[in-house]
Amino acid sequence: MTFTPTACPRLVVKIGSSLLVGDEGAVRREWLETLVADLVERRSAGQQIVIVCSGAIALGARRLGLSHGGRRSLDDAQAAAAAGQIALSQCWAELLGAHDIAAAQILVTLGDLEDRRRYLNAAATLDRLIGLGAIPIVNENDSVATEEIRFGDNDRLAARIGQAARADGVILLSDVEGLFTADPASDADARLIETVDAIDGDITAMAGSSSGSGLGSGGMASKVEAARIATTAGIPLAIISGIEDHPLARFAETRRGTVFTAEAGANARKTWLAGRLTVHGCITIDAGAVDALRSGKSLLPAGATGVTGAFARGDVVEIAGPDGAKIAHGLAEYDADTAARIVGHRSDELGDLLGYAPRAALVHRDHMVLL
């Protein structure tokens, strides 16, 4: 499947520190304005945008007077991230605000996206923000993430956000043009690889070179790893140069970069959902709900008739029809006990029943695959 970033409905764009932050440790604002202009143009054409943006550590290092771009120790990086994130958020709020677009900051850790409940929360928030016309700006919550729960680089974060946001494409803007057969700085025969259909040993070996700037943490290896995460979930990923002004418009024109293709979306997503998770319980539904699910709707409590098994929010459950036939698999929005309390109830009764603002669906259509 060809990946057309200009046409895909929901796109994640990742901006690395070395592009965003100049030599003096300040935001390259003029360049960023040209990228924002590209993003605004895409958005006017109906494309939904999520941004993953690095640069907090590099910006904060300057503000706090830390050496080595704030990366001398984990403590330094975490302090720098805290000080830099404020500047980063302010910058996005101003630049998008100038186009009447609300910037919305989300900071996540690896743990947030690995934990199934918090994954669902992040997915719902991203969806809601996009629905409200805001542009989510995501970064790693570096200041609280310990070594074990850090992404460490925003390339992999961008791929995981692509999954959580059910994006149709991820673009990594980089200080290189893409994946080369050898290091182009030292090998005149080095050739840009335009399309990668399978990430095999050869591709991993070619990814040996690293980002030259020293500001960011992700080299080509982390970009290829991000491509593996995204394509496994059915999302194509492109690595393109962000060095020049208007990088997205330029890519749309030249197509220069490396595109990692993915299997056809629905199938890959189904495999991914099916592959990583075991079924923890079952929700039985009535005939009306079977029809609703088959026409692409979410499963609402009103259509459910019973719950079996012990599952937590975010676990995979089976959904079965009145005759016991398996209809779908999906991630439960409620744990088994709560689900049992609300089956058969209309959505407008849930708030009173539960005593808190409820999720509308028992299983949201975005986290469901029909069998």
**Positions that interact with ligand GLU (CB under 6 A):** 17, 54-58, 81, 139-140, 142, 153-154, 216-218
Give the span between the Cα atoms of 293 and 304, in whole angstroms: 12
Tracing tokens 């330094």 back to the chain, one arrives at 76
Between 56 and 206, whose beta carbon lies closer to ligand GLU?
56
Query: For the chain, what's the residue count?
Result: 371
Q: Which helix (H) or strand (E) holds 20?
A: helix 17-20
**Shortest spacing between CB 312 and ligand GLU, in angstroms:** 29
Torsions phi, psi for 282 (to 5 deg)? -140, 140
Between 153 and 335, whose beta carbon lies closer to ligand GLU?
153
**Shortest spacing between CB 70 and ligand GLU, in angstroms:** 8
Q: What is the DSSP letter of 181?
A: S
Between 76 and 140, whose beta carbon lies closer to ligand GLU?
140
Q: Residue 175: name the closest of 310, 21, 306, 39 by CA.
A: 21
**Shortest spacing between CB 322 and ligand GLU, in angstroms:** 49
**Shortest spacing between CB 286 and ligand GLU, in angstroms:** 47
Count other Cβ atoms within 10 Å, centred on residue 309.
Answer: 15
The neighbouring-strand residues paired with 172 are 14, 239
Under 8 Å between Cβ of 304 and 346: no
- DSSP-H helix ranges across 47-115: 56-64, 74-97, 110-114
Under 8 Å between Cβ of 218 and 205: no
Between 55 and 301, whose beta carbon lies closer to ligand GLU?
55
Between 56 and 96, whose beta carbon lies closer to ligand GLU?
56
Between 56 and 207, whose beta carbon lies closer to ligand GLU?
56
**Shortest spacing between CB 166 and ligand GLU, in angstroms:** 23
**Shortest spacing between CB 292 and ligand GLU, in angstroms:** 41
Q: Residue 111: name the closest of 122, 125, 95 by CA.
A: 122
Token pair for residue 337? Answer: 């006990």
Tracing tokens 């409590």 back to the chain, one arrives at 301
**Shortest spacing between CB 55 and ligand GLU, in angstroms:** 5
Under 8 Å between Cβ of 15 and 49: no
Tracing tokens 């200009």 back to the chain, one arrives at 6
Between 115 and 175, whose beta carbon lies closer to ligand GLU?
175
Under 8 Å between Cβ of 134 and 96: no
Chain centroid, CA 345 distance in Å: 33
Between 11 and 215, whose beta carbon lies closer to ligand GLU?
215
Residue type, 33: E
**Shortest spacing between CB 226 and ligand GLU, in angstroms:** 10
Between 17 and 48, whose beta carbon lies closer to ligand GLU?
17
Between 214 and 306, whose beta carbon lies closer to ligand GLU?
214
Sign of CA dihedral 200, 169, 114, 72: positive
- CB proximity list for 342: less than 8 A, separation 6 or greater: 301, 334, 350, 353, 354, 358, 362
**Shortest spacing between CB 328 and ligand GLU, in angstroms:** 36
**Shortest spacing between CB 32 and ligand GLU, in angstroms:** 14
